[in-house]
A and B are shown apart, each in its own frame.
Chain A
């Protein structure tokens, strides 16, 4: 390393070595000392000391920084809005997608995610507050948020002990999608869903990599509550899941690619994925199990220690702007609990039965319960199911 570079070496290599060397001289001694003594894992300050990043850093013009990082769910955003945000605010949006609330929680518990905004589901917020992983929102920095426009039951879970920790993003249901060309019977219940996966649709059914919906809808097979933590009822659900396991195509919360390619014929699914698939491939339909299942609402929230707080507020406020929000919905197809936004949606959306199911179907659904998130038995059953 310390020897000079060969003159005949290509420029890129030389430049690379030079930059590395410069960086080394700049700050390695301190870090080296710290890490050797076991004290120093490089802190955020390091990033500022990195000459290599100077180029991209100097490029930003806005006052909120040049980036914002969001953890959310698959197929749940409109990339065009991110472009607009970048144009208007100068901050680029980074998205990481997750398949379950547990996964988001695990990341936050392990510390240092770098997220500025994340999208927790209704029933998880009280746990985040308990574990001190989420910050209360300063509503004065979210002028686009006004309680009066929102449906009450979708807004309530965001408030814990009188403090607002999260503002509503979307709501929706958990049902299943099926390819009517491949599945010719007409399943309308979870019982039929699970029975079909073991018989005529064997090898072609997907379930979420997510304990709440996978275990919850297995519980519905027996008519139990979606949220049950009763060991006996869970044992029944586990037995069903283990029975079905050899017949499944895959366990994955991002089932769109497999449904699109025709590999999978049926999958546990959320509203918006149902709508997106149905829009592009009409033979794919979205069905709510008659026994019930999940009704949910998702929120925008800011984790403790978010590195770009200003950008986080600006970004959330931007996304809940009715006009922008309507553009989100038009792409992802999840309904919004904000009447201002709903008014801007085209008729074919507001009258779409996938987005707005019939009342009797909706009435059978349950909100997820906080206890399911941390219940050790549910976590272990899900893990055993995957390991089986």
Chain B
């Protein structure tokens, strides 16, 4: 009984739409755009025409995730272990605030900073002329790191926070040097946070549209941008559906693989940390 609303929701808004686009992906584009029934694999055969979008996404999404980890980990470590007790809640709130504020606007700010009047102008002052930053993969990567950093920091922070500080002391009492303590005690114990954080960021990046749209200038193109163009410009619903189904397939495979590698239970449990 209690499951009824959720079941209905899943059926009508998850299963049905996915079935509809699966069916559409086997159809043809109507003459003026849209869908007309057919039974063909032509749309899937055409997927290679969007290969670049897939390879862009599949390189920049993991790369962005890794950069986020690299920047977020020491920061989260500082917050959890080094920061003074009194300052901690305040420092933490400062991380959470961007997470709660408009993603769109935070990305928009970088149009200024990376545009001709921003960083390139500063570079001009020190003699580097005509340096272009906006609408490059670098710009998109900066946007990605900026947008998703808080999302990486929080889970890592939570798992480091849970970490029993006496363990660290024991480790160093036993003569382990700090590097060894880090790799043998701290890192393994904070793994759940790392897994959660990287999953969250990776999932969101795979479907990213806004950052490449605003900072990529139509040149750094993700699958998300291909989808928007297919539905809102070329009006090719069947091909768009095929691209969407393929994206979901790749994600399911990638995530299952990842979770199997890092240990399924640990990963699953930890999604709840957020």
Q: Count of B residues near A, CB < 8 Å?
A: 33
Establish whether residues A106 and B235, one from each chain, have CB atoms under 8 Å apart when the complex forms.
Answer: yes
Taking a contact as CB atoms under 8 Å apart, the answer to whether B33 and A105 are in contact is yes
Q: Does B204 contact A (CB under 8 A)?
A: no
Stretch at the interface among B49-57, B91-99, B175-183: B49-57
**A20-51 near B? 1/0 per residue, CB < 8 Å:** 00000000000000001010000000000000
User: In whole Å, how far is A247's beta carbon from the nearest beta carbon of chain B?
Assistant: 10
Interface string of B36-77 (1 = CB under 8 A from A): 000000000000011011000000000000000000000000
A252 at interface (Cβ–Cβ under 8 A)? Answer: yes
Interface digits, A124-167 against B, CB 8 Å rule (1 contact, 0 not)? Answer: 00010011000000000000000000000000000000000000
Counting chain A CB atoms within 10 Å of each CB, which of B32, B221, B236 scores highest?
B32
CB distance from A267 to the nearest CB of B (A): 12
Grouping DSSP codes into helix (H, G, I), strand (E, B) and loop, the A interface class, with mixed when no group exceeds half, is helix
A386 at the B interface (CB under 8 A): yes
Partner of B115 from the list A105, A110, A263, A380 (CB cut-off 8 Å) is A263
Bound complex: CA A110 to CA B134 (Å): 32
**Interface-side segment among B187-195, B225-233, B262-270:** B225-233
Query: B residues within 8 A CB of A105?
Result: 33, 235
B235 touches A384 (CB 8 A): no
The answer to whether A387 touches B226, judged by C-beta atoms less than 8 angstroms apart, is yes
Q: Which of A348-388 contact B (CB under 8 A)?
A: 374, 376, 379-380, 382-384, 386-388
Query: Is A107 located at the chain interface by the 8 A CB criterion?
Result: yes
**A209 at interface, CB cutoff 8 A:** yes
B132 to chain A minimum Cβ distance, whole angstroms, is 6
A103 touches B219 (CB 8 A): no
Q: Which of B8, B52, B53, B219 has the most CB of A within 10 A?
A: B219
Shortest Cβ distance from residue A250 to the other chain B in the assembled complex, whole angstroms: 3
In the assembled complex, the Cα of A39 lies from the Cα of B134 at a distance in Å of: 46
B234–A250 CB distance below 8 A: no
Contact assessment for B221 and A387 in the assembled complex, using a CB-CB cutoff below 8 Å: yes
For the complex, give the distance between the alpha carbons of A38 and B34 in Å: 23
Q: Are A131 and B32 in contact (CB under 8 A)?
A: yes
Partner pick for B34 among A109, A249, A384, A386, CB 8 A cutoff: A109
Pick from B5, B33, B117, B229: contact of A383, CB under 8 Å: B229
B31 at the interface (CB under 8 A from A): yes
Q: Which of B1-54 contact A (CB under 8 A)?
A: 5, 8, 12, 29, 31-34, 49-50, 52-53
Cα–Cα, bound, A249→B226 (Å): 19
**A110 CA to B53 CA in the complex, in Å?**
24
The contact size tier of chain A is 35 or more
A residues less than 8 Å from B219 (CB atoms): 245, 248, 250-251
B-chain residues with CB within 8 Å of residue A263 when the two chains form the complex: 115-116, 120, 132, 134
A102 within 8 A of B: yes
Q: Report A-chain residues with C-beta under 8 Å of the C-beta of B32.
A: 109, 127, 130-131, 374
Which of chain A's residues have a CB closer than 8 A to the CB of B235?
102, 105-106, 109, 379
In Å, the complex CA distance between A209 and B225 comes to 13
Nearest B residue to A38 by beta-carbon distance?
A: B12
Q: Is the CB of B135 within 8 A of A249?
A: yes
Q: How far is the CA of A106 from the CA of B228 in the complex (A)?
A: 11
Contact of A382 among B134, B232, B234 (CB under 8 A): B234
For the complex, is B84 an interface residue (Cβ under 8 Å from A)? no
Residues of B within 8 A of A250 (CB): 135, 217-219
B49 (CB) vs chain A CBs: closest residue? A384
User: What residues of chain B lie closer than 8 Å to A376, measured between beta carbons?
Assistant: 29, 31, 234, 236
Could you name 21 residue pairs across A and B whose Cβ atoms are closer than 8 Å?
A102-B233, A103-B232, A106-B232, A109-B235, A127-B32, A209-B218, A250-B218, A251-B217, A251-B219, A258-B115, A258-B116, A261-B116, A263-B120, A263-B132, A379-B33, A382-B233, A383-B226, A383-B229, A383-B233, A386-B218, A387-B50
| Other contacts beyond A251-B219, A380-B234, A382-B234: 14, CB < 8 A | A38-B8, A106-B231, A106-B232, A250-B135, A250-B217, A252-B217, A252-B218, A262-B116, A263-B120, A263-B134, A383-B226, A383-B234, A383-B236, A387-B52
